[in-house]
Amino acid sequence: MKLGFDAKKYLEEQSKYILERVNNYDKLYLEFGGKLLFDLHAKRILPGFDENAKIKLLHKLKEKVEVIICVYAGDIERNKIRGDFGITYDMEVLRLIDDLRAYELHVNSVVITRYDNQPAVTVFMNKLERRGIKVYTHSATKGYPTDVDTIVSDEGYGKNPYIETTKPIVVVTAPGPGSGKLATCLSQMYHEHKLGRVVGYSKFETFPVWNVPLKHPLNIAYEAATVDLKDVNMIDSFHFDAYNEIAVNYNRDIETFPVLKRIIEKITGEESIYKSPTDMGVNRVGFGIIDDEVVKEASRQEIIRRYFNTGCEYKKGYVDLDTFNRSRLIMEELNLKAEDRKVVMPARERAAKLKEQFCKNEQYPVVALELHDGTILTGKSSDTMDAAAAVILNAIKRLANISDKIHLISPVILEPIINLKSKTFGSKITSLNCEEILIALSISAATNPTAKVAMEKLSMLKGCQAHSTTILNTNDEQTFRKLGIDVTCEAEYSSDSLYYNN
């Protein structure tokens, strides 16, 4: 893989810049946007970026850092899903706590924002508190966003409980956007100021990249990733007016900056040092780019992936038509086509041949997978296994130089599993999915040296690209994710079944 980003240089530059910002205050509330861990979006569009760079940065500063996690009560109530992991936001909070602890970072507490006694949220709070996690609740801020006098008063931020913190850097993070991180930071600043402490606020938002051109594919990829939020990149006019320097930010930050500036000035009683929303940021990711052309191409491919993913989200009912049309417009803006993703046409062509061969008016699921050497393999569904499982077996056979005629898994192992699914569990879908096939392969590997060699090649699939002619079932999607394969799907179901096709 060609590298476009220097992760080590970025880590050094970023930690130095944050520490410089901290030196101005007794305490700095640092709002972390994006993913604190497993930032797969950044990894895909910045080849060479460490998906855990942010958490490693904080680990480097661990003696100075503690973490507050915010989660919006409404997201828990409606079981909002973190797309790249397929888990709900409440489960993501638990995972985040475990991962932060693994990096020796102190988790101060969890804040439930805009809490209104929702039953599901109360259950979640009980779960946290009974495991020794401190939980605070914040209600909607009275007067927000226009009545600054009410917001910065005992009726506004003052109604929220004060969270006792002891470290000079308080990182405020969340499972996803709209979780109330900014409000939590400002609420804490209000209480800290009343206690006579000099505190500051900064934002660590990786994208859009402020010192990269507005229409750079890297920044457009951010718009593609946030089509559901309707984020639009813009030139930061406040920054240009103050410094005569072009900087890129996004609409929400630019629109709210005047109010945010007035709120901070009202809290501190002093003129804000920040002249623009870009000023508030501490992001140095743009300084880690070492090959612009590599980053541009990686960003274009991410935009295509996002287009396919948004199409599937629309088909599933998770997003509206405007959101899907927005992703299509982004594709057109860069003159991109679905076929510019290399694995798309091989999958479509194989599916078309199968349909022509069997002359049936139905879908023929096919998955195409590109190996790191550029070889593209396909797998089709059968009575024994689905297309995702088939292509994985084909891929590891290729990597292990095993003939396609050799069966890695004995029928003696496969038949009992199929019988368990169909006869004991009564499943209507008897073909084995990716996870089931890999479990069967691991059993075979215990006695079959050939299967063992193939099994050892699974790690080589990380970072490979795949495309399915139908929407993958949840299990296959999760297995591809665990293997580190970037997969896209056509927005078509493999059958008319409503329940058994998920």
- Is 91 within 8 Å of 98 (Cβ atoms)? no
Question: Does residue 441 lie within any of the structural domains?
Answer: yes
Asked if 323 and 231 touch (Cβ cutoff 8 Å), the reply is no
- For residue 36, the enclosing domain spans 7-209+278-287
Of 401, 399, 341, nearest in space to 371 by CA: 399
Contact (Cβ atoms closer than 8 angstroms) between residue 460 and residue 488: no
- In 3-state terms, what secondary structure has residue 69? strand
**SS in 3 state form for 25-46?**
CCEEEEEECCCCCCCHHHHHHC
| Residue 319 resides in a domain | no
Residues 283 and 372 reside in one and the same domain: no
The pLDDT of residue 23 is: 85
Residue type at 307?
Y
Task: Please indicate, yes or no, if residue 243 is contained in any of the structural domains.
Answer: no
Boundary residue ending a domain (287, 310, 330): 287
| Three-state SS letters, 152-171 | CCCCCHHHCCCCCCCCCEEE
CA 446/CA 136 separation, integer angstroms: 50
pLDDT at 363: 72
The reported pLDDT for the residue numbered 82 is 73
We report the CATH number of the domain holding residue 45 as 3.10.630.10
Residues 105 and 181 in one domain: yes
Percentages helix, strand, coil for the chain (3-state, rounded to 5) are 50, 15, 35
pLDDT of residue 426: 83
Residues 347 and 204 in one domain: no
* Whole-number pLDDT of residue 425: 84
Specify whether 394 is located in the same domain as 282: no
* Residues 64 and 193 reside in one and the same domain: yes
> pLDDT tens digits for the chain (502 residues)?
789 999 999 989 998 998 888 888 889 999 998 788 888 999 999 999 999 998 998 998 999 999 999 999 999 998 877 766 678 899 999 999 999 999 999 999 999 999 999 999 999 999 999 999 999 999 999 988 889 999 999 999 999 999 999 999 999 999 988 899 999 999 999 999 999 999 999 999 899 999 999 999 999 999 999 998 888 999 999 999 999 999 999 999 999 999 999 999 999 999 999 999 999 999 999 999 999 999 999 999 999 999 999 999 999 998 999 999 999 999 999 999 999 999 999 999 999 999 888 766 567 899 999 999 999 999 999 989 999 999 999 999 999 999 988 889 988 888 888 888 888 888 878 889 999 999 999 999 999 999 999 999 999 999 999 999 999 998 999 999 999 999 999 999 987 776 656 5
Q: Across the chain, which distance is largest between two alpha carbons, in Å?
A: 78
CB within 8 Å of 385: residues ≥ 6 apart: 393, 431, 432, 433, 437
Which CATH number belongs to the domain containing residue 392 in this structure? 3.40.140.40
Please report whether residue 198 resides in a domain.
yes
163 φ, ψ (degrees, to nearest 5):
-100, 115
Domain match, 82 and 163 both: yes
pLDDT of residue 502: 58
What φ, ψ does residue 244 adopt, rounded to 5°? 55, 40
208 cis-preceded (ω within 30 degrees of 0): yes
Whether the upstream peptide bond of residue 213 has omega within 30° of 0, thus cis, is: no
In a domain, 465, yes or no: yes
Domain end marker among 287, 305, 327: 287
283 and 383 fall within a common domain: no
pLDDT of residue 429: 82
Residues 282 and 374 in one domain: no
Contact present, 444 and 438 (Cβ < 8 Å): no
Q: Is 399 contained in some domain? A: yes
In a domain, 266, yes or no: no
Domain match, 393 and 283 both:
no
282 and 359 co-located in one domain: no
pLDDT at position 410: 86
In a domain, 236, yes or no: no
Count how many domains the chain has: 2
Mark which of 221, 256, 287 sits at the end of a domain.
Answer: 287
> Does residue 282 sit in the same domain as residue 386?
no
Strand partners, 137: 112
Residue 354 and residue 382 in contact, taking contact as beta carbons nearer than 8 Å = no
pTM > 0.85: yes or no: yes
pLDDT value at residue 84: 65
Instruction: List helix spans (H) across 130-250.
Output: 148-151, 181-194, 217-225, 237-243
Same domain, yes or no: 383 and 485: yes
Contacts 24+ apart (CB under 8 A), 310-318: 310/227, 311/490, 311/491, 312/471, 312/489, 312/491, 313/228, 314/491, 315/471, 315/491, 315/492, 315/493, 316/471
pLDDT at 444: 93
Position 207 scores a pLDDT of 93
